[in-house]
Amino acid sequence: MGLVEGVRVAARRARLLPPWVRRADAAAAHRVNGWHSHPNVDRLWSRLTGFADKGVLWFTIAGVLAVTGRRRAAVRGILSLATASALTNLIAKRVFGGDRPALEDIPIGRRLPVQPSSRTFPSGHSASAAAFAAGVSLEAPRVGAALAPAAVGVAYSRLHVGAHWLSDVVGGLALGGAVAALGAAVVRPRPGAPGPPPTPGRDRRLPASPEGEGVFVVVNRAAGTSVVRADPVAVIRDRLPRAEVHVLEAHEDPVGVAAAALARDAPPRIIGVCGGDGSVAAVAHEARRAGVPLLVVPGGTFNHFARTVGADTVEAAVDAVQRGEGVRADVAELAFGEASPITVMNTASVGIYPDFVAERERLQQRLRSKWPAAVVAAWRVLRRSEPVAVVVDGRRARVWTLFVGVGRNDPGTLAPLQRRSLDDGVLDVRILHAGSRAGSVASLAFGRRTAAAFRTLRLIPERMETIVTGELTVDVRPRHGQPPGFAHDGEVALEAPAAASAHLSAPGYRTRLRVLPLDLDVYRPAATGTRD
């Protein structure tokens, strides 16, 4: 854009906008463009605005919210974003129009590689950011508050890179917020609304321990470092003073500690675990081998299994063991080839999800927080991951991801992370066959009804398959010469045991999963269900 073009832009804006708006725009542009920022700061804003192109940033965050149990917030955020984007690009920009700031006024280091050519008012990036953050906040106020700085940052980035005027950004923010508010009037939000209750199972009398006698609890403090909560150890020791509580050291693992306790001459009558789903599955394996009931105390970030059995607080778990209230639950066994099987409580998977967990754990060491690590990991995995070649019970397929849930899960989601049943004796298998990355993101993040709406609008394809079975064999083929990782209960095995490939004619590994009906006694408050 040369001098003549710059004069033309100024003349056009003079005809269309009130003088006070033009003055505010000019003052803001002069202030932002005159700020001599470090090149790294310029790159930061440029990358943020690029990450938000076509809503990629918000779709990524929505996927993280969905797989961490905030699906309503994720769906409302994306539907608000989609509505705001449509109103901005299909109506508002055509009605109001407007020209971009003159390129000569923007410092060279801030200019985008490709300058946008669409009309400028209102800012689509700002409208999408405000709509998504406001939509999420209606269902999850704390999450929405945490997203607000990101939304404001995206809006400011459009000023920093010279893509918009201040009035464009303000107009976009107002439009996005109005769309979310209108959505709340049409479909009333339910902040903190729980999902459908799990199938209660059959209540069962278990050994009671009012003061903790005969109880051995393994505590993994590292499992829930990203969650602010009261110290569960203090509660356990206060209410179960005769229980033995073992807090894991850095070099210890829950399997070894639980196995050593159960191998004593006078072993505990009840084995407990305070940690995340991975810790629960590890200790449950030892409880099954010893034939003792399991006490699950929520101490992880997500606590999928603890919530399923009704022990969603430390107090509820302690109440159950003091009164001897429990349930008999299904578990599954996962075996790699001829290796010894391990216990699975919730889910096992191969494909995008294990890639995401491995990347998140790697980033968490540097970022010191699980949530930012999860967002960055999701973005990287969705950009880089490739489909996985598998053979499912003799049937060849290329898939983005394959999930196997223990017990029936919510039928509206691809990722069965929290079981809805304790004792139905089945594996719930969800397969997302290889297609577009956009399809995989939407299918992973949202339920089938929402994905169906996107398909109707020709925004995404859907290639999801559901299987209900009692046993499953999956051969996993290499990807770029290396077999992809396999996850179970939030833990990732990047390398399968050597025995897993012993009987395969091609490189890769074999996994077998089978459900074990009513194989584990677990303490739970007897609020629902029938008496055994």
Sequence spans of domains, the chain: 3-186, 204-324, 347-515
Q: Is 510 exposed, middle or buried (0-12, 13-18, 19+ CB in 10 A)?
A: buried
Residue-level pLDDT at 495: 60
SS (H, E, C) 206-247: CCCCCCCCCEEEEECHHHHCCCCCCCHHHHHHHHCCCCEEEE
CATH superfamily ID and name for 204-324: Probable inorganic polyphosphate/atp-NAD kinase; domain 1 (3.40.50.10330)
If you average pLDDT over each of 43-47, 184-188, 199-203, 274-278, which comes out highest?
Answer: 274-278
User: 325-341 in b/e burial notation, b at 16+ Cβ within 10 A?
Assistant: bbbbbbbbbbbbbebee
Spatial distance between the Cα atoms of 225 and 370, rounded to a whole number of angstroms: 8
Of 316-325, 337-346, 357-366, the one with minimum mean pLDDT is: 357-366
Query: How many residues are present in the chain?
Result: 532
Q: Are strands 486-488 and 530-531 parallel, antiparallel or unpaired?
A: unpaired
Place of tokens 């965050």: 61
pTM score: 0.66
Q: Which residue has the higher pLDDT, 515 or 360?
A: 515
> Minimal CA–CA distance to 420: which of 406, 401, 403, 404?
406
> What digits encode the pLDDT tens for the residues 136-157?
999 888 888 888 988 999 999 8
Phi, psi (deg, nearest 5) at residue 465: -125, 140
What is the domain class of 3-186 according to CATH? mainly alpha
Q: Which residue has the higher pLDDT, 274 or 356?
A: 274
Residue-level pLDDT at 457: 42
In this prediction, residue 199 has a pLDDT band, given cuts at 50, 70 and 90, of low
Q: Which amino acid is at 146?
A: A
Q: Are strands 202-205 and 325-336 parallel, antiparallel or unpaired?
A: antiparallel
* Mean local confidence (pLDDT), 316-327: 94
Identify the DSSP state of 296. Answer: E
Spatial distance between the Cα atoms of 308 and 199, rounded to a whole number of angstroms: 9
Helix (H, G, I), strand (E, B) or coil at 167: helix
Q: Which fold has domain 347-515?
A: Tumour Suppressor Smad4 (2.60.200)
> What digits encode the pLDDT tens for the residues 99-115?
777 777 777 778 777 77
Query: Is 133 a residue whose pLDDT tops 70?
Result: yes
Q: Which residue has the higher pLDDT, 520 or 1?
A: 520
How far is the CA of 335 from the CAs of 132, 339, 367, 475, in angstroms?
Answer: 42, 6, 34, 12
Spatial distance between the Cα atoms of 34 and 159, rounded to a whole number of angstroms: 12
Fold match flag (204-324 vs 347-515): no
Q: Which residues make beta-bridge pairs with 440?
A: none
Q: How far is CA 243 from the centre of its chain?
A: 35
Q: Which residue has the higher pLDDT, 483 or 321?
A: 321
Phi, psi (deg, nearest 5) at residue 44: -60, -50
Q: Are strands 270-275 and 294-298 parallel, antiparallel or unpaired?
A: parallel
Query: Is 173 a residue whose pLDDT tops 70?
Result: yes
In this prediction, residue 506 has a pLDDT band, given cuts at 50, 70 and 90, of low
